[in-house]
Structure 1
Amino acid sequence: MSTPLSFVGTAPHSPWATYLSQVDRVVPYIGHLAKWVETLKRPKRALIVDVPIEMDDGSVRHFEGYRVQHNLSRGPGKGGIRFHPDVTLEEVMALSAWMTVKTAAVGLPFGGAKGGIRVDPSQLSIKELERMTRRYTSEIGLIIGPQRDIPAPDVNTNAQVMAWMMDTYSMNIGSTATGVVTGKPIHLGGSLGRVKATGRGVFVTGREAARRIGLSLQGARVAVQGLGNVGSTAAELFVAAGCKVVAMQDHTGTRVNPKGFDLDKLRAVQSAGGGVAAHPDGEAVDAESFWDVDCDILIPAALEGQIDAARANRIQARMVLEGANGPTLPEGDDVLRERGVLVVPDVICNAGGVTVSYFEWVQDFSSFFWTEDEINARLDKIMIDALAQIWNTADRHQITLRTATFAVACERILMSRQERGLYP
């Protein structure tokens, strides 16, 4: 079996290597469709673009951008755009592949895609950020579109960035195309419930998993890594359900409070431009101590590659809810399984965002919009039903929820691949 040249030498702990390991583990559970598994190990299309912009001081800088379409067998590509100094092609490849699995796991008619620019957006003015976004959109306009590939917000991007992308694409084609991106401002065709959708999905899947393992949420202790949109929304919903957040970590620091944190104070601190380190309650501890916190539920909602074997051995939680993409390395997964810690994997746990993105896309095509209560009810049903099927698959094969999610998703993806056939 040949190996694509560009993948030779992949680092053992890279996001792409993690994804490939996850695919290998699912092969025994997909029967005759294993014939097509190499389809999942190669992105369909990877675009690297130069993004030159004129800075406010008159100088010209060049940034490197990417858009990867991993698999389009089930529909147009779907996946976010991140602006971060550590963005690499390999990372974007892995994120696009996880989107392929994620959309299939919850039954959405999408494939997987992802994009990004290697940049620290905090170092750009608002006008520089706009010029960079618009130039990047023009460069990837070759392969995106409402029926081709639909970007969305991700790390360091938001509704304003999506508005610039939609406007740029629309100007280039000569007509308004609201469906080219999701996560837009409400008055430009965005959907109610989109901002909190990913965090809500983490909560809904966590609530259902807790019920199945007999963990009462009343008084349950929660530790959250990453207090951005996903982590903070999930934390708020768990607190509303009777839990208490006993540990928090973000890029500013780590704090522990066995009595539980007041999340209103956290919101006030964040509104003032601060982070966890500025929270007035609890005790400040070093970053590594976060993994030793005595808790019931751990929510890694930051970046990928956080839980290796060593950290997995220290985790005290009964359940890990993956709010981030790819936070657990394969060896960490193995340790958690051996220790009896339930992991609800990213490809189902944080699928709430892409699910409501699908709702937004559908609403844009019909120009008919739902209420937030309707959005949340539809989201909850899709997440609960998807988790139930995955749980049944895990029980039937005696495998982890991650492998079961991949089994359910990969069967759908590869069946589509088989039925569509090869062209020409």
Structure 2
Amino acid sequence: MSTQPARPASFDKLGGLSYLNPAAPEPWSSFVEQIERVRPYLGSLERWIETLKHPKRTLIVDVPIERDDGTVAHYEGYRVQHSLSRGPGKGGVRFHPDVTLNEVMALAGWMTIKNAAVGLPFGGAKGGIRVDPASVSKGELQRITRRYTSEIGVIIGPNKDIPAPDVGTNAMTMAVMMDTYSMNRGGTATGVVTGKPIALGGSLGRQEATGRGVFITAREAGRSIGLPIEGARVVVQGFGNVGGIAARLFHEAGARVIAVADHTATLVNEGGIDVPAALAHTAANGGLAGFAGAAAIDIEDFWQLGCEFLVPAALEGQITPQRAERIRARVVVEGANGPTTPAADDVLRARNVLVVPDVIANAGGVTVSYFEWVQDFSSFFWSEEEINERLERIMINAFNAISHVATEKQVPLRTAAFIIACSRVLEARAERGLYP
């Protein structure tokens, strides 16, 4: 009898329950509460609001593979299309041992809001497999990816739903997904996924896009309250493709990154961490643990460090009301999806902490994914300089629009972003009508 491989005993200690927050509310509940908070601002579109609380399509798939030792293992996979009113679904695929349908639903919902808030012609989608990539071999991981792609192949496609990398996946995962989809369709379809290797139709600038977007919105938020980046103290949770890139850009702009955390260690150096050295150490050792340029502290002490910018760039549910009471940052810039619970949002607002919400702060990745999708359709590719210029322009314009609504209606930036996004999605839903 075969079962899914057991999670490594070290996981909870290094990357699971102690690092995250087991008491956090279910992500979907947080998303629904965020939707409810914009109800008073929707006018005649309010009659469609229930649309946003019901994902359009939810697919649960069994992902069986033959392991290297000849046994058969089963993994559970998901693909949720939250809304397709404004265009094809768009959202990443997460490989993580704690992936749940509830989480994937919420992430798909946030993608709907994010794409609409930035003005991209996409709906929202998300996928995931409950698997620890470190617990399987490279060959097993490829077989998992191919079987999952085949199972969800009925609902994805360049004009239907376009996956991308997320936690536990990368450009090579997307290469395997693209190849599997193409083989099943009998022709190469580069536009079925984004975040691919450059050789397979990927876009220059994509790898750094999310972290770059976090930095751009942090800079613009700072300008809006007279807080310059140069000389500012920065604390970053998550030191991977988002947090690590953002930390490097802060460092290059003259900020002082005083603390960083990942699933292996939480480190502080009030004099400033050598970010390039920390990134090199992480690349060589798989994590921050053992980095000599900073001292280890407890994760709970991390949240009360005095700083100007706090960047949670790990997973959802990190900033609870209890942690929000201890935060000593002036600006929280959400590099992760859903890191702040609605109740914690209220605490931070009462304490006059400016929160730049995930749906704008980390939208750089999906924005450059949009560029990649467009380039694949046209088979004409832009330079990295062009990519970064277009990204900066879109991010600044989106932030300014959200900031304007926040000021006009005297609401937090998150509510302002949801007002803009929900209005756009529901207007499209109303214009399309119901079929049949």
TM norm structure 2: 0.94
| 1:95 to 2:107 alignment | yes
Distance change in 2, residues 1:156/1:70 (3 Å): same
Deviation at 1:267, TM superposition (A): 2.0
**Residue of structure 1 equivalent to 2:406:** 394
| 1:124 to 2:136 alignment | yes
Letter in 2 for 1:309: P
**Residue of structure 2 equivalent to 1:406:** 418
RMSD: 0.9
**Residue of structure 2 equivalent to 1:247:** 259
Deviation at 1:12, TM superposition (A): 7.8
In 1, the alpha carbon distance for the partners of 2:305 and 2:266 equals 11
Deviation at 1:163, TM superposition (A): 0.4
Letter in 2 for 1:367: S
User: Superposition pairs for residues 142-291 of structure 1, below 5 Å?
Assistant: 142-291=154-303
8 Å contact from structure 2 (residues 24, 320) kept in 1: no
**Residue of structure 2 equivalent to 1:6:** none
**Residue of structure 1 equivalent to 2:54:** 42
Deviations 1:242-280 (A, max 9, x none): 101001111111111110000122122112224223210
Query: Aligned with 1:320: secondary structure?
Result: strand
**Residue of structure 2 equivalent to 1:66:** 78
**Residue of structure 2 equivalent to 1:350:** 362
Letter in 2 for 1:320: V
Query: Among 379, 394, 397, which residue is 1:367 paired with?
Result: 379
In 1, the alpha carbon distance for the partners of 2:270 and 2:288 equals 15
In 1, the alpha carbon distance for the partners of 2:163 and 2:286 equals 29
**Residue of structure 1 equivalent to 2:340:** 328
| 1:52 to 2:64 alignment | yes
Query: Aligned with 2:267: secondary structure?
Result: strand
In 1, the alpha carbon distance for the partners of 2:426 and 2:341 equals 25
Report runs of 4+ in structure 1 exceeding 6 Å deviation. none
8 Å contact from structure 2 (residues 319, 341) kept in 1: yes
Deviation at 1:224, TM superposition (A): 0.2
Query: Aligned with 2:408: secondary structure?
Result: helix
8 Å contact from structure 1 (residues 104, 410) kept in 2: yes
| 1:316 to 2:328 alignment | yes
Deviations 1:285-334 (A, max 9, x none): 11110011111100000000000111001000000000000000011000
In 1, the alpha carbon distance for the partners of 2:304 and 2:394 equals 34
Deviations 1:340-364 (A, max 9, x none): 0000000000000000000000000
Distance change in 2, residues 1:12/1:302 (3 Å): closer
**Residue of structure 1 equivalent to 2:8:** none
| 1:17 to 2:29 alignment | yes
User: Superposition pairs for residues 94-113 of structure 1, below 5 Å?
Assistant: 94-113=106-125
Deviation at 1:282, TM superposition (A): 2.2
Deviation at 1:239, TM superposition (A): 1.0
Letter in 2 for 1:235: A
In 1, the alpha carbon distance for the partners of 2:393 and 2:228 equals 21
**Residue of structure 2 equivalent to 1:3:** none
Point out where structure 1 has 5 or more consecutive residues left out of the alignment: 1-10
**Percent identical:** 67
In 1, the alpha carbon distance for the partners of 2:117 and 2:179 equals 31
| 1:377 to 2:389 alignment | yes
- Count of matched residue pairs: 414
In 2, the alpha carbon distance for the partners of 1:170 and 1:303 equals 31
